[in-house]
């Protein structure tokens, strides 16, 4: 299959996945609600994708280290650690796997009564904004960067943001979180559309499919980076 066709296929994957979830929500709501609950298959896949992302990011890190590209080594090492931490967060640091009793602090301050940092009340109100920023960065940076710097500099930093054909994975999470966090409250408070309020047709856990797509997007971005890195290495050796 031609490279451009593969890129187009990758671009449409998250759109098709998200459309499938919308179809389930509209016509098989019971099955959909079961899928998005805590400790569901969706969360298992998220944890798996983030762990694979950690492994791929470590390979990329090692390759940059061998090439003595220390700035990129440091950035991708931090990226790898972030992927591993998110993986552990998704499985509550193994709490339910190893049947760890919930500490008093997490029992009192965690919104889901589990060992996870992102569900602490201290950080809970920031999570949506973080997802919106990540979604915006991944969805639009490939458009913005070429407008700000020269093509030569773009080539040097192209490993730091997703290309156009992976941007759709991030666009989905940006749209979903922006809709849940900003559009719904606007319609409810400013226009009095009470039927749009969370808990009616829309529920807060509607973000789970978007988070699944995002986790897959990170993995594909890293695999794409690894592939490009290999091509560059072959070029340098030639």
Q: How far is CA 90 from the centre of its chain?
A: 12
pLDDT at residue 39 tops 90: no
- For range 168-190, the mean pLDDT: 95
What does the domain layout of the chain look like in residue ranges? 3-38+107-237
> Rounded to the nearest 5°, which phi and psi values hold at 90?
-65, -30
pLDDT at residue 11 tops 80: yes
pLDDT at residue 152 tops 60: yes
pLDDT at residue 237 tops 70: no
pLDDT at residue 232 tops 70: no
- pLDDT value at residue 82: 98
More confident residue, 152 or 96: 152
Burial class (CB in 10 A: 0-12, 13-18, 19+), 195: exposed
- pLDDT value at residue 99: 77
pLDDT, mean over the chain: 91
- pLDDT value at residue 234: 52
Single out the residue of 1, 48, 4 nearest to residue 163, CA to CA.
4
- pLDDT value at residue 37: 87
Of all helices (H) and strands (E), which one includes residue 111?
Answer: none
Mapped onto helix, strand or coil, the DSSP state of residue 187 is helix
Least confident of 61-70, 109-118, 168-177: 109-118
More confident residue, 1 or 159: 159
> Rounded to the nearest 5°, which phi and psi values hold at 111?
-65, -20
pLDDT-based confidence at 195, cuts 50/70/90? Answer: confident
Residues 44-103: tens digit of each pLDDT: 999 999 999 999 999 999 999 999 999 999 999 999 999 999 999 999 888 877 778 888
pLDDT at residue 236 tops 60: no
- For range 20-47, the mean pLDDT: 92
Token couple for 88:
């552990």
- For range 213-235, the mean pLDDT: 87
Token couple for 5:
């066709």
């Amino acid at each position: 299959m031609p490279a451009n066709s593969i890129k187009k296929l990758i671009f449409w994957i998250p759109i098709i996945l998200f459309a499938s979830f919308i179809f389930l929500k509209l016509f098989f709501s019971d099955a959909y609600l079961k899928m998005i609950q805590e400790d569901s298959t969706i969360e298992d896949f998220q944890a798996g994708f983030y762990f694979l992302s950690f492994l791929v990011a470590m390979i990329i890190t090692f390759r940059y280290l061998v090439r003595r590209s220390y700035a990129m080594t440091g950035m991708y090492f931090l990226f790898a650690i972030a992927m591993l931490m998110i993986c552990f967060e998704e499985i509550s640091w193994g709490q339910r796997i190893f049947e760890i009793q919930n500490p008093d602090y997490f029992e009192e301050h965690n919104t889901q009564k589990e060992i996870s940092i992102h569900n602490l009340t201290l950080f809970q109100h920031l999570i949506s904004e973080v997802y919106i920023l990540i979604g915006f960065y991944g969805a639009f940076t490939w458009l913005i960067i070429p407008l700000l710097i020269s093509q030569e500099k773009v080539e040097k930093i192209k490993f730091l943001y997703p290309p156009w054909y992976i941007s759709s994975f991030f666009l989905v999470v940006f749209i979903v979180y922006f809709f849940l966090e900003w559009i719904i409250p606007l319609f409810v408070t400013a226009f009095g559309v009470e039927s749009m309020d969370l808990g009616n047709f829309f529920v807060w856990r509607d973000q789970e499919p978007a988070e699944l797509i995002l986790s897959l997007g990170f993995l594909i971005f890293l695999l794409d980076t690894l592939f490009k890195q290999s091509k560059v290495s072959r070029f340098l050796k030639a």
